[in-house]
Structure 1
Amino acid sequence: MGLRAQVRTPDGWAVGHAVVTLTDRTGAQVVRADADADGAVTSDVPLAPGPYTVIVTAIGHAPAAATAFVTSSGVADAGTVVLTRQGGIELPPPGGWNIDPAHSSVATVAQHLGISSVRGRFAEFGGRVEIASAPEHSRVDAVIDAASIDTGNAVRDKHLRSPDFLDTERYPEITYHSTGVSRSGPDRWTVRGDLSLHGVVRKVALDLTYLGTGPDPWGGERAAFRATTELRRADFAMNYNQVVRAGMSAIGTTLRVEIDIQAVREVDPADAVAS
């Protein structure tokens, strides 16, 4: 019996300081409960059958509301409620934002033997995001050191750097230059651009989620983004594979790319002098 809910951010982190309020159809408060460290909310207050409104608030986040229907079981299950950072709907203030590699990651996931996944990451990369007054005119430029690939296995990493895959001696850099940005949801954007990989340039779209902006401990301002896309290895002339049995390939034909970015706002020289 009672209220059940999970409170998360768009990228899946628990919001442990959230407060959940349940009101009945008259607007009267029936339950008020705090989320625990894992973002879970539970209450054993008996509930009469019928519709209820679930209101979730947390400092630094935009409030969210959902509807829960209580059946004869007496349980209001609100499922997972997603809270976005306050101001997370609009993009960061216009200007230049430099990617912070120490607090960012560029990872890949490939299927192995058709039953599991192998994850890798690039240790060396950098870039810059230019937020325009008209968000659709914003730009991102990034460069990755191809030889910095790390899957946790030295033999495999050496093979990935070879001509069978990245051929890092001939193509030491992977670059991405955006050509357009369009809104695809309240806090989601599609970034279109040119990806240069293994000597081949292809149009690639990133599914981007803006996670919010806030101050950092060093007096700066940071914006956070998460982006994903899928690439076909054949599109970039990486056709190596090994058939292990019954026509099954050892390595999947597609790669999932997962990018988590923190970008630091550039300081206007005039502001620096004034301070």
Structure 2
Amino acid sequence: MGLTARIRTRDGWAVSHAVVTVTDTTGAQVLRAEADTEGAVRDATPLAPGAYTVIVTAVGYAPAASSAIVTASGRAEVGTVTLARHGGSELPPPGPWTIDPAHSTVAAVAQHLGISSVHGRFTDFSGTIGIAAGDLAQSRVEAVIRAGSIDTGNAMRDAHLKSADFLDVEKYPEITYRSTGLSEAGADRWTVHGELGLHGVVRPVDLDLVHLGTGADPWGGTRAAFRATTDLRREDFAMNYNQVVQAGIAAIGTTLRVELDIQAVRGTSLPAV
């Protein structure tokens, strides 16, 4: 009996201070419960059969509301409720923003032997974001990644990835991305259109972007958070090395899933901390 729910941020973190309020069709409150440290709500108070509105609130997040139908069981199973940071449905304020490498991650995932994944990241990168004041489509992103900073947690594998079989970092030390436009893809979702320069090849690459929110930092600045993903085919960038372990199964997958978790600081410089 009662209410169950899971409260999460858009990137999957538990919201431990969330409050869930349930109201009936007259607007009267019939139940109020708080999420635990795991973002879970479990309240055993039985609810009478009928239709209810479930409202989830948390400091720093936009409220979320949904409908719930309670049957004779007396249970309201809300499932996972995702909260967006205040300001997450729109892009950050116009002007220049600088990517903070200390609080950002540029990662890639490749399939290995057809049964598991290998995760890697680049540890040396920089970039800027320019949010247009008028036409948001004119907003711009530029980033540079040092190819030799690849880190998969294995020195032998990293050396192979830096070799001419893959990144060829001596010949192509930088990976670049320059946006060419921006288009809205839904509520708080955007598509960044741009060109990726990798291994001596420049190709159009779109990023699926979510703005996670904007807020103040402890150093007197303003930060914005984004998550972006895209898939790349290695052969599109002239990286064709592979070993076939059995018919149809390659040692290393031909598709890379790129995952970007980005914090940007408003302005053209970063704080000392």
Match of 2:177 in 1: 176
Task: Report what 1:44 is aligned to.
Answer: 44
CA-to-aligned-CA distance 1:195-232 (integer Å, 9 cap, x gap):
00000111000000001111111111111000000001
1:118 maps to which residue?
118
Alpha-carbon distance, 1:73 to partner: 1.9
Residue matched to 1:108: 108
Task: Give ranges in structure 2 of 5+ residues lacking alignment.
Answer: none
2:21 is equivalent to residue 27 of structure 1:
no
CA drift of 1:25 comes to: 1.7
CA distance in 1, matches of 2:6, 2:12: 10
TM-score, normalising length: structure 2: 0.96
Structure 1 runs, 4 residues or longer, greater than 3 Å off: none
Secondary structure, aligned partner of 1:183: strand
Q: Cα deviation per residue 1:168-221 (whole Å; 9 max; x = unaligned)?
A: 011000000000101111111000000000001110000000011111111111
Q: Where does residue 247 of structure 2 map in the other structure?
A: 246
Equivalent position amino acid for 2:207 in 1: L
Identity of aligned residues (%): 71
2:85 match: 85
Cα displacement (A) at 1:267:
6.5
> Residue 246 of structure 1: CA displacement?
3.0
Distance 1:127 1:53 in 2: 44
Alpha-carbon deviation of 1:2? Answer: 0.4
Q: Which amino acid aligns with 2:121?
A: R
Where in structure 2 are the equivalents of 1:66-215 lying within 5 Å?
66-133=66-133, 134-215=135-216
Give 3-state SS (helix, strand or coil) of 1:77's partner. strand
State the SS of the aligned residue for 1:182: strand
What is the count of residue pairs matched by the alignment? 268
Could you say which residue in structure 1 is the equivalent of 2:219? 218
Partner of 1:273: none
> Per-residue displacement from partner, 1:229-261 (whole Å, max 9, x unpaired)?
000111111111101123411011100000000
The answer to whether the Cα contact below 8 Å between 2:88 and 2:188 also exists between their aligned partners in 1 is yes
Partner Cα separation in structure 2 for residue 168 and residue 73 of structure 1 = 62
Deviations 1:58-78 (A, max 9, x none): 111111101111122221011
Contact 2:97–2:268 at 8 Å: present in 1 too? Answer: no
The answer (yes or no) to whether the contact 2:98–2:268 under 8 Å persists in 1 is no
TM-score by length of 1: 0.95
Letter of the aligned partner of 1:91 in structure 2?
L
Q: In structure 2, the residue corresponding to 1:207 is in which secondary structure?
A: strand
Q: Give unpaired runs (5+ residues) of structure 1.
A: 269-275
CA distance in 1, matches of 2:225, 2:84: 12
Partner SS for 2:137: helix
The corresponding residue for 1:265 is 266
How many Å separate the matches in 2 of 1:39 and 1:247?
43
Deviation at 1:167, TM superposition (A): 0.5
> What code does the residue aligned with 2:193 have?
R
Shift in alpha-carbon separation, 1:175–1:242, aligned structure 2, 3 A: same
Amino acid at match of 2:118: V
> Hey, what's the Cα distance between the residues in 1 that align with 2:101 and 2:173?
18
Listed one character per residue, the Cα deviations across residues 63-102 of structure 1 (whole Å, up to 9, x for unaligned) are 1101111122221011111111111111111110000000
SS at match of 2:236: helix
Partner of 1:272: none
RMSD over aligned CA atoms reads: 1.1
- Give the letter aligned to residue 177 of structure 1: R
One-letter identity of the residue aligned with 2:233 = R
Paired amino acid for 1:121: R
- Match for 1:184: what amino acid? A
